[in-house]
Amino acid sequence: MPIPFILGGLALAAGGYGVKKGLDASEKNDKAKRIIKRAKRRYNESKETLEQKQEFTNSKLEDLGRLKVEIFTHQIKDFIELINKCKKGDSIYEDKRYLTQNEVKDLVVAVDNSLEISSGLLSGATAGALTGMGAYGAVGMLASASTGTAISTLSGAAATNATLAWLGGGSLASGGLGMVGGTAVLGGLVAGPLLAVGGMFLDTKAEENLTQAREQEAEVDIAVEQMDLVVISLDGIVLRVDELQDVLISTRKRFNKMLKNLPSSNYCKSEEFKRLMITAKILKNLLDIPVLNKKGEANAKVTQKIEKTLKLGA
């Protein structure tokens, strides 16, 4: 066979191989693009769902915090005024179902702080305090910032920052975890896993591009799974909020009815007042129940604590 013919055949074969190699590279790059596009869409959809759930959960906690503040500034405040009209240190405190004198003192502080929060609600300055109040109960009313100032008396960013620092066990300077710790305590309420999806450079290394795309897809799978778990956790928090909110509303109604039927004079030792004291104790204990545990997760003992508290009135 003539040499020119052989060389020509080899050239054609080489050209065919080159075309096939180019097509393979193009197909791999196209596949890599599809993988990245699909992964990016899944990640963004999960992230949007999580952010919506975070916002909803935060609003639910704020609503619960607002309800607690309202109960302190109305029902508890009215009750404290009734107590002050009775003889201090009377024997009515001896029944374990009633509020102790120390509990009454704590409630006085909580009422004062609630009034401060109420005054800041119109300006939207105490949203951070409301979230902490909804999440961790009335104990937050007695908390102080690292400066020693009551959190409830702060406003704006100072209130939010102080609340987060308090949730984190105090400021960094005082040995606590600071705002970062508080943010971690609130967990899924603040942020989900961050992942930079895309940005892949499609160069001539098609095989490498495809490998990178698959690696990013695997990372997205993990991130989506983490976000899904956070959403489930947030759903659990919302359920606990609703549960506590419902029983607080019903107990407040019962308290108001008792207050309305209280004798206008000489009520201190009346049976009506004793029942009112028990209901006030129930309200106080309900206000103390946290819907989040120290890890920032739904408190699994909310139902148990509610049932135990309600038995005081049985």
pLDDT in tens, 134-162: 877 665 544 544 445 555 444 445 555 55
What's the residue count for the chain?
314
Mapped onto helix, strand or coil, the DSSP state of residue 158 is helix
* CA pseudo-torsion sign 172, 159, 72, 90: positive
Q: What gap in Å lies between CA 275 and CA 97, rounded to an integer? A: 10
List CB contacts of 174: < 8 A, sequence separation 6 or more: 146
Radius of gyration of the chain (CA): 31
The pLDDT score that the predictor gives to residue 266 is 81
Q: What gap in Å lies between CA 152 and CA 162, rounded to an integer? A: 9
Residue with tokens 């309305």: 260
Q: Check: CB of residue 133 under 8 Å from CB of residue 141.
A: yes
Q: What percentage of residues in the chain have a pLDDT greater than 90? A: 13
The better pLDDT of the pair 105, 303 is held by 303
Comparing 13-17, 108-112, 226-230, 294-298, the range with the smallest average pLDDT is: 13-17
Q: What gap in Å lies between CA 236 and CA 54, rounded to an integer? A: 12
Number of H helices, E strands in the chain: 9, 0
Q: What percentage of residues in the chain have a pLDDT greater than 70? A: 63
pLDDT higher than threshold 70 for residue 184: no
Which residue type sits at 138? A
- Residue 213's pLDDT band, with cuts at 50, 70 and 90, is confident
- DSSP states of 46-82: HHHHHHHHHHHHHHHHHHHHHHHHHHIIIIIHHHHHH
The pLDDT score that the predictor gives to residue 190 is 43
- Residue 194's pLDDT band, with cuts at 50, 70 and 90, is low
Q: What gap in Å lies between CA 210 and CA 216, rounded to an integer? A: 10
Q: What gap in Å lies between CA 257 and CA 279, rounded to an integer? A: 11
The pLDDT score that the predictor gives to residue 255 is 94
> Average pLDDT of the chain?
73
Q: Check: CB of residue 113 under 8 Å from CB of residue 153.
A: yes
- Residue 270's pLDDT band, with cuts at 50, 70 and 90, is confident
Q: pLDDT, tens digit, for every residue of 94-124?
A: 566 787 778 888 788 778 777 777 766 655 5
The pLDDT score that the predictor gives to residue 240 is 92
The pLDDT score that the predictor gives to residue 178 is 45
DSSP 169: T
Q: What gap in Å lies between CA 170 and CA 236, rounded to an integer? A: 27
Comparing 33-47, 171-185, 204-218, 258-272, the range with the smallest average pLDDT is: 171-185
Q: Check: CB of residue 270 under 8 Å from CB of residue 86.
A: no
Work out the angle at residue 236's Cα, subtended by the Cα atoms of residues 121 and 247, and round it to the nearest 5 degrees. Answer: 60
Q: What gap in Å lies between CA 139 and CA 36, rounded to an integer? A: 48
Mapped onto helix, strand or coil, the DSSP state of residue 112 is helix
Find, among 111, 131, 151, the residue nearest to 241 by Cα: 131
The pLDDT score that the predictor gives to residue 142 is 46
Tell me phi and psi for residue 81, to 5 degrees: -65, -40
Residue with tokens 């992230």: 47
Mean of the pLDDT values across residues 254-273? 88
List CB contacts of 220: < 8 A, sequence separation 6 or more: 39, 40, 42, 43, 195, 197
Mean of the pLDDT values across residues 41-46? 89
